[in-house]
Amino acid sequence: MDLIPKPDQVVAAASNVAHRVFYGGLADLRPMPRTLIDDGTLREVYHYRPAAKVVEQGDPVLLVTPLAAPAICYDLRRGCSLVEHFVHGGRPTYLVEYGEVSFRDRNLGMEHWIDEVIPTAIREVSAHAGGRPVHVVGWSLGGIFSLLTAADSPDLPIASISVVGSPFDVSLVPLVAPIRPLLNLTEGRGMITRAYQVMGGAPKPLVKWAFQLSSFQKLVTKPIAVATHLDDTEWLAQIEAVDRFTANMIAYPGRTFGQLYHRFLKANALKDGSMELDDRTISVADITAPVLVFGGATDGIAPVSAVKAVVPLLTGSHEVRFEIVPGGHLGMLTGRGARTTTWRALDEWIDQWSTDDTPGDDGDGASEEALPEPSIGTSRTRKHGSAASRALST
């Protein structure tokens, strides 16, 4: 809104305020319809039902939810939903989430997700889709767990892996770097260690606070920003959706939280691409599936350099590509600009590594909608192509 609002801005602002007062909000928060196809301990696998008059085609996509974050990260709101984008494009779309974490789950460690949850979800999705290989998409910690799972289980039916905002070198995370020397002084006997042992994990309020802390400046200036965007319906709707996402953070299981704290935060165990788990060493160099890595240009939780650190470690992959896209940690996945950047790159990548009957293909090479230029990083129509965006990190 201009410093001196124009008449149309005043009318739009008044309309938005009235709509929020009388209807409770501006965002369309209806979830995409889905069906449960498999469940287990902290594992729920869903299939999103095809859109009206859309026929599912091609290999399935499995969206892997990160720990502590609600699954609505992939289905934030209508118009800014990766699920909606895939479903309306005719892709068989699935999601694995974990439900509420309670005190009884305190003894579950990372092994539960790497050995049981994600491998089972991949196999169930493949079976439900007729035995097709699965394109795995993981955001944040979901991307890290997806890579570790693929490295540990080479027999899984994986067509490709896409990781979005997944930091592999936490020493390059500005929020963490200054305090890592202090963490190492505790030698495992500090306040955080005792807290997760007593409470059984990181409670939801703490997880919510940590996520908000990463965007502290935006949090402080939010009232001013809202006041200056009262005439922008889409902007206000996105804020409502993000607020709902933050309010629905989930607790970490105790043992998993302890492992993440000691191995990832303190020891930076993934910096060299391998990690000890139980009686084995998992190395991302053992991944053979093609991998697409996304870094967010303004991501404060997983900066570009921290995410890009995994690229040279994927030495066994058929192909590795790195994309820098606009947005912060959540915005790069499901922000208002993701449709023309992150989602377009995902479509290109999945089509490249899919079998021949990709969504929109009617068998003769034609499709209802013109496909974007096929080469990732060289599209002249993409706002942030790799050729230009990689220069941001040099």
Residue 157 confidence (pLDDT): 98
Instruction: For domain 28-393, say whether CATH 3.40.50.1820 is its number.
Output: yes
pLDDT bucket at 99, cuts 50 / 70 / 90: confident
pLDDT of residue 232: 58
Model pLDDT for residues 229-250, shown as the tens digit of each residue: 454 567 688 888 888 888 887 7
pLDDT confidence of residue 259: 76
Q: What pLDDT is attached to residue 364?
A: 43
Of residues 91 and 23, more confidence is placed in 91
Residue 319: predicted pLDDT: 97
pLDDT class for 384, splitting at 50, 70, 90? very low
**Three-state SS across the chain?**
CCCCCCHHHHHHHHHHHHHHHHHCCCCCCCCCCEEEEEEECCEEEEEECCCCCCCCCCCCEEEECCCCCCHHHCECCCCCEHHHHHHHCCCCEEEEECCCCCHHHCCCCHHHHHHHHHHHHHHHHHHHCCCCCEEEEEECHHHHHHHHHHHHCCCCCEEEEEEECCCCCHHHCCCCHHHHHHHHHCCCCCHHHHHHHHHCEECHHHHHHHHHHCCHHHHHHHHHHHHHCCCCHHHHHHHHHHHHHHHCCCCEEHHHHHHHHHHHHHCCHHHHCEEEECCEEEEHHHCCCCEEEEEECCCCCCCHHHHHCCHHHCCCCCCEEEEEECCCCCHHHHCCCHHHCHHHHHHHHHHHCCCCCCCCCCCCCCCCCCCCCCCCCCCCCCCCCHHHHHHHHC
pLDDT at residue number 253: 67
Of 112-116, 118-122, 247-251, 369-373, which gets the smallest average pLDDT?
369-373
Q: Which residue has the higher pLDDT, 241 or 132?
A: 132
What pLDDT digit, counting tens, does each position of 276-295 carry?
Answer: 888 899 999 999 999 999 99
Q: What is the pTM of this model?
A: 0.77
Domain ranges of the chain: 28-393
Average pLDDT on 54-59 reads 94
In this prediction, residues 354-383 reach a mean pLDDT of 47
Among 75-89, 188-202, 286-300, 322-336, where is mean pLDDT lowest? 188-202
